[in-house]
Structure 1
Amino acid sequence: MLHIVDDEEIIRDSLAWLARSRNIAATSYESGQALLSALETAAGFDADGECILLDVRMPGQSGVAMFNELKSKGLLRRRPVIFLTGHGDVPMAVDMLKNGAFDFFEKPFNDNQLMDRVLQALENSRASGAEDAVQNRLEALSVREKEVLDLILAGKMNKVIADELGISMRTVEVHRAHIFDKMNVKTAVELARLLK
């Protein structure tokens, strides 16, 4: 999902049309506050990835101030921001990139270059989401399951794991089954590939 934030309706409409022409779902907002409200009430993160196109200069709260507010609320996690500006300001662009912005485009911009960067940002967002899902699964493991997991990843057989941990082989098998279930894998090879 591409979130387009610009105070000019014609810009929002043209960017939304441009996104749709590249098969990118887009939603438009006339202000950063409208985006903030939408993100705070969203049911969850879009598994297809999210990206924010944010105009730098808007009445009321600027795009830079909105970026900082979204960042402080943790709403930019997995949501790369591409700034758009009609007023080129190299020091500001450098500051925003150092502060975590994905990119900075000056109007008028090349439509294809902008959409190519949006697609890259969406791909980064999806990849980050997949990493978070794996991390959440790892956090669901018990301390003992994590110990068994480490030994499985070291290529040790159930009997060796049992001996090293001082537990029965049957207990190792139970832990192994729970690990595979929680990590949503069927084999140790899949598990190793997931956690590489």
Structure 2
Amino acid sequence: MSSDQSSPQVPGATVYVIDDDAALRAGLADLLESVSLNARVFASLQDFLAEPRGDGPACLILDVRMPGQSGTDFHQQMERLGVHLPVIFITGHGDIAMGVKAIKDGAVDFLTKPFRDQELLDAVQVALERDRQRLARAVSTSSLQDRWRSLTPGERDVVRLVVRGQLNKQIAAELDVKEITVKVRRAKSMKKMGAASLTDLVRMVDELAPPER
């Protein structure tokens, strides 16, 4: 690493570092904390997995070559392990093909040692922004699911048919209810879901997880 710090970061955000080089871990911790980031460093993948993680925005700086399991193999298993953090790879042994594959697999960046401090800080900024967006989507989805659960079974039935493009008369016939009942349920559903239009309602239903439909 060489010194060159200027990019704004996310105060209070956490950057996890996994590298078996103690000196590099210490250097990265100092660099990250110098720009008001919470650095948590680990010598192994096992140590990292054993440590509880917070709920705020975070990212992971991961060495490609680790004792036991490689960083790239771990990256491919993260989803299954419940680790949803953006990853920045660092390596002293990388090549172009390895870097291209890592980016295709979703990594934010692939930095070859020695890298400039600013390169890493810029990558961290991108990764933290990506994680902020992920967290915001999770909150939005949770709120949407709560609103869907607030509908009565009858209202959900109407919504399912409305978003398929059926008319009130057709929905009434299919559900064996009066057309006025469909209109009332439809209006209540729109209000509960916070949908200003049919387009909004369709988008919301599309965003719901399959079990909620």
Which TM-score applies when normalising by structure 1?
0.71
Which of 99, 111, 128 is the equivalent residue of 1:105? 111
Give the length in aligned residue pairs.
175
2:26 paired residue among 4, 7, 13:
13
Q: Does 1:56 align with 2:64?
A: yes
> CA, structure 1 residues 7+150, in 2 after alignment: closer, same or farther (shift >3 Å)?
farther
Residue deviations 1:11-52 (CA, integer Å, cap 9, x gap): 1111111111222222111111111222xx44xx523x1110
Q: Percent identity?
A: 33
* Kept after mapping to 2: 8 A contact 1:149/1:176: no
The Cα shift of 1:109 comes to 0.6
The one-letter code of the counterpart of 2:67 is: P
Matched, 1:133 2:105: no
Unpaired segments of 5 or more residues in structure 1?
152-160, 181-186
Query: Aligned ranges for residues 37-186 of structure 1 at < 5 Å?
Result: 37-38=50-51, 41-42=52-53, 46-47=55-56, 49-75=57-83, 77=84, 79-140=85-146, 141=148, 142=151, 144=155, 166=179, 167=181, 175=189, 178-180=192-194
Note closer, same or farther for the CA distance 1:130–1:88 as it changes in structure 2 (3 Å cut).
Answer: same
Contact preservation (8 Å) 1:145, 1:176? no
Query: How far is the alpha carbon of 1:139 from its aligned partner?
Result: 2.3
Encode CA deviations 1:152-189: one digit per residue, 9 max, x unaligned: xxxxxxxxx9xx87438776665455434xxxxxx959
Q: CA RMSD in A?
A: 3.4
Where do 5+ consecutive residues of structure 2 fail to align? 1-13, 163-167, 173-178, 205-213
Whole-Å separation in 2 of the counterparts to 1:109 and 1:146:
57
Alpha carbons of structure 1 residues 173 and 31: separation in structure 2 relative to 1, 3 Å: same
TM-score (normalizing by structure 2): 0.66
The 3-state SS of whatever aligns with 2:20 is coil
Letter in 1 for 2:193: I
Are the structure 2 counterparts of residues 16 and 139 from structure 1 closer, same or farther at C-alpha, using a change threshold of 3 Å? same
**Distance change (3 Å), C-alpha of 1:150 and 1:74:** farther
2 CA distance for matches of 1:133 and 1:94? 32
Residue of structure 2 aligned with 1:26, choices 22, 39, 63: 39
Q: 1:146 deviation in Å? A: 9.1
